[in-house]
């Protein structure tokens, strides 16, 4: 009888240890946002994307929203020492840069700049511009690749782009009718690394992998707090962040290994956590820092100073 009891306790201990390991990546206690710097408003006046370099310590990349031209910007962690880099090549008249990510491309580390904005959802295809991360840039740079892609179910507006460590590209859409203050479930799409690396000068079709209904996860928020304005995958790929105009959420989901459960099956504290933020008007940029234990967010609002905010995970 005692042997059976000990065996049961041992099995239970192993099970609990497995459960704890399975959810160890989800931070349970995010701190209060603190201002770490300010963007140069003369150059970055409508910041719609931010990404922290994992190759060059202390470096941030930024993009401006629609109308900002084919450029990206480099600053230090405080938003100082701004460099403006032009992306060579023909620019689309309907270009709308909305997010930026870092990931591997072939054997290099690259920036993935998402020309994915489509407010009226009319574009046949959108584009991702791939630029190698270099220690030093001239005033312009030739992209390694321009990836043209389309959705399998017709056009979507999107402001969330991220690259998984395995090289797969993910887009999270922005589904809303803010005129009537209505939010709808965000759709998640993938383009595998193999597919975008192999295809030349063709439009690739994204793969639909699920949806996230923020109305169910943050029911007390307004429509502005239930639509995705930015998105980033953790450096280890085991979790991801989405930003809204009111808050942020971290999901304990490795998109390369796990299917997205129906939103109603997601458990708070296990599958996701809501992160209360110091509100910035029109906050549309978010990035994990290289250690995955903190993130930055900022604003594209162009009528006042644009701070860079840092939020630390306080878990021990």
Burial (CB count within 10 angstroms: exposed 0-12, middle 13-18, buried 19+), residue 253: buried
CA–CA separation, 239 and 90 (whole Å): 36
DSSP code for 88: P
Structural domains of the chain in order of their starting residue, each with its CATH number: 29-312 (2.115.10)
Residue 292: strand, helix, or coil: coil
Q: Which CA distances in Å does 138 have to 57, 62, 89, 110, 217?
A: 19, 17, 15, 16, 45
Q: What is the pTM of this model?
A: 0.91
Per-residue pLDDT of the chain (316 residues; tens, 9 = 90+): 545 444 444 444 434 344 444 445 799 999 999 999 999 989 998 999 999 999 999 999 999 987 778 999 999 999 999 999 999 998 777 889 999 999 999 899 999 999 999 999 999 999 999 999 999 999 999 999 999 999 999 999 999 999 999 999 999 999 999 788 899 999 999 999 999 998 777 999 999 999 999 999 999 999 999 999 999 999 999 999 999 999 999 999 999 998 899 999 999 999 999 999 999 999 999 999 999 999 999 998 866 788 999 999 999 8
């Amino acid at each position: 009888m005692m042997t059976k009891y000990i065996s049961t306790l041992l099995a239970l201990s192993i099970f609990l240890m497995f459960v704890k390991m399975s959810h160890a990546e989800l931070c349970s206690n995010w701190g209060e946002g603190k201002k770490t710097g300010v963007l140069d408003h003369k150059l970055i006046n409508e910041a719609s994307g931010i990404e922290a370099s994992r190759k060059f310590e202390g470096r941030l990349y930024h993009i401006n929203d629609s109308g900002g031209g084919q450029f990206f910007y480099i600053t230090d962690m405080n938003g100082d020492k701004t460099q403006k880099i032009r992306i060579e090549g023909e620019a689309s008249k309907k270009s709308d840069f909305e997010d930026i990510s870092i990931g591997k491309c072939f054997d290099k580390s690259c920036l993935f700049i998402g020309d994915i904005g489509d407010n009226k959802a009319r574009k046949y295809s959108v584009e991702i511009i791939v630029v190698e991360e270099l220690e030093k840039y001239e005033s312009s740079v030739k992209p390694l690749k321009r990836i043209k892609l389309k959705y399998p179910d017709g056009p979507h507006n999107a402001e969330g782009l991220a690259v998984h460590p395995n090289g797969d590209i993910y887009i999270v859409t922005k589904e809303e009718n803010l005129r009537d203050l209505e939010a709808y479930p965000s759709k998640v799409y993938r383009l595998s690394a193999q597919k975008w690396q192999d295809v030349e000068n063709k439009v690739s079709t994204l793969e639909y992998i699920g949806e996230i209904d923020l109305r169910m996860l943050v029911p007390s928020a307004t429509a502005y707090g239930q639509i995705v304005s930015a998105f980033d995958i953790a450096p280890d790929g085991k979790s991801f962040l989405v930003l809204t105009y009111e808050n942020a959420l971290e999901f304990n989901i490795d998109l390369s290994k796990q299917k997205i459960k129906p939103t109603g099956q997601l458990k708070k504290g296990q599958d996701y956590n809501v992160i209360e933020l110091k509100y910035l008007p029109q906050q549309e940029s978010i990035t994990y820092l290289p250690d995955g234990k903190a993130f930055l967010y900022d604003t594209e609002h162009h009528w006042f100073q644009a701070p860079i905010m840092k939020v630390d995970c306080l878990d021990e």
